[in-house]
Chain A
C-alpha cells in the first residue's frame, strides 16, 4: 500500500469540507473495495477521508418508499424486515453477493461504487487498462474473456460490472441522493453508472467533491413478487456469470407491468426496457418469456470465451420470468 494521510470526518459537512480541500481524496466507508485495490496498487490516493462515523446509516420510510443512508451496512439493508418482505429481489441480490463478513462491512453507498473484477484492471503488471491508465489500451480485448461483458461494451473496455445489489436497484427504479458543493441532487439509478465508451475510467456520474448520501427505493406493490437469480461457477461466494432481477405484475394471465435487469453480462447494471415492453399486456407464458429474453440480449457482442453468456442469460431470464409470474399469479 502506498502511504497516505488519513482524515476522519464526523459530519457530512466535515466530509464535504475535506473533499473540497483535498481534490482526488478517497472516501473510506466499509473499505472492502478501497483497501483491496490499494493493497493491489490499483489505487494510491494521497489522502483518505474516513467517513465511517457519519450519521448516515438509517433505513426509514420516506415518501412513497424507503430512504437508506449511504452508510447502512449491506447486511442490515438486506435483513430489514420491510425490505425483505416488500422487495425480496433486493434482499436476495444483496445476500447472494460476497460473504457474510464482507456484507457486514460493505456499505450501501460504497457498494454503488464497487469496481470491476476484470483481472487486467486488478493486476498492475498489465500495462494496458484504459480504466486504470486512460489511453493505455485494453489487455482484455486479446486476453481471457470468460467473465467479461457482452452488453454495453466499447472498443476501449469490456469489463463487467460486478454488482448484485445494483442489478436489483436498476430493476426497481431506485434513485441515488448525492450531495455536492452546489447542494443535493437525485440521480435515477439507471443513469448513475455510465457505459465505458471512450472514457472507461469514468464509471458513474458523480462529480468532484460529491458524496453519496442515501438511496431512495420506491415501494412498488408488485415488487413483493420479485426474484434475483444468480448463476455462477460456485454455489456461494462468487461473482455472477449471469444474474437477473425480475419483478412482475400479472393479473388474469396477463402481464401488466414488468421490471427486469441483468447482471454479470454488462458493463453497467443492465436495465432491460425492451424486454419489459415485450411483456407488457402480453399473455404470461413460455413464448412471451422467451421473446422477452431474446429482446433483453439484443445487441450482445460476444467473444469466443464469453459467447456462452448469451444463451445462459436468456435461459436464466426466461426461467426467472416464469417463476415470478407463477408467484404473482398465485397471489393475485
Chain B
C-alpha cells in the first residue's frame, strides 16, 4: 500500500485529556474511541448515521462519531459519556435525571441519548414536550423508553427553572 494510505499520528483531545493515537485515514472517531482508546461507553448501533447511539460532543456540539474521521479532529475537544460525571463521580444532571426516571431499558442507546440531551441543553432545552421529542428524534430507542426519556428531560428542565428562580 502506498505510504499515503498508512496510519497518521495525531492527538485526540477526549474528555480534557490528550491522547496520542496512530490511525489510518478511514478510522472513524467511533472506532478510535472504542478500539484505540478503550472508551467503550460510546456505542455502535447502525454505523451509518441513522440511530444516534454514537453521539458525542465535538467542540460542544452533538455530532455522530460514526460519520466523522478521527484524522480530521486534531485540535477539537471531544466529550464522551465517560467525561460527563465530575471527578468525584457526581453525575451530570442529565445522567442523574435518566437514572431517577428509569429512562432506559436495555441501555444500549443510553450514552447516545444522554450525550444528545447534553448537546441539546447547550442549544437550549425547548419548553414544550413536542419540541423536545423533535429535538431528540435523532436518537432511536428500540426498547421504546421514549416516555421516560421525555420525563428525564422534563425533570432537567424543571431543575434548571428552579435553579434560575
Interface residues of A (CB under 8 A from B): 1, 3-8, 28, 31-32, 35-36, 38-40, 48, 50, 52, 75, 98-102, 104-105, 235-237
Contacts and interface: CB of A to CB of B under 8 A. Distances in A.
A271 B19 CA distance: 50
Nearest to A73: B61
Given A6-B69, A100-B123, A1 B26 contact: yes
B71 A104 contact: no
B108 to A, nearest CB: 17
Contacts of B28: 35
A4 B26 contact: yes
Given A40-B48, A99-B52, A102-B138, A28 B67 contact: no
B155 to A, nearest CB: 20
Interface residues of B, number: 35
B63 A99 contact: no
Nearest to A50: B72
Nearest to A95: B134
Interface string B59-100: 001111011110110000000000000000000000000000
A31 B67 contact: yes
Contacts of B2: 5
Contacts of A3: 1, 5, 24-26
A21 to B, nearest CB: 12
B36 interface: no
A105 B72 contact: no
Nearest to B112: A101
B106 to A, nearest CB: 21
B123 A6 contact: no
Contact of B49 (A36, A75, A100): A36
Contacts of B157: none
A28 B138 contact: no
B138 A99 contact: yes
Max chain A CB contacts within 10 Å: which of B69, B120, B135?
A: B69
B69 A100 contact: no
B22 interface: no
A236 B26 CA distance: 31
20 contacts: A1-B26, A3-B1, A4-B25, A31-B68, A35-B68, A36-B49, A50-B71, A100-B62, A100-B116, A100-B119, A100-B120, A101-B52, A101-B63, A101-B119, A102-B49, A104-B62, A104-B119, A105-B64, A236-B134, A236-B137
Contact of B138 (A31, A39, A100): A100
Given A32-B64, A101-B64, 16 more contacts: A4-B26, A6-B72, A31-B69, A36-B48, A38-B26, A48-B25, A50-B71, A52-B72, A99-B139, A100-B62, A100-B138, A101-B116, A102-B138, A104-B62, A105-B63, A237-B138
Given A101-B116, A237-B138, A5 B62 contact: no
A81 to B, nearest CB: 13
Nearest to A7: B4
A277 B48 CA distance: 43
Contacts of A99: 52, 137-139
Contacts of B138: 98-102, 237
B110 interface: no
B42 interface: no
B72 A237 contact: no
A294 B104 CA distance: 48
Contacts of A235: 133-134, 137
A32 B67 contact: yes
Interface in B119-136: 119-120, 123, 133-136
Contacts of B69: 6, 28, 31, 35, 50
B123 to A, nearest CB: 7
Contacts of A75: 61
Contacts of A36: 48-49, 67
Contact of B64 (A39, A48, A52, A102): A102
A104 B55 CA distance: 11
A183 B40 CA distance: 47
Interface string B20-60: 00001110100000000000000000011100100100000
Contacts of A5: 2, 4-5, 25
B135 A105 contact: no
A28 B139 CA distance: 24
Contacts of A38: 26
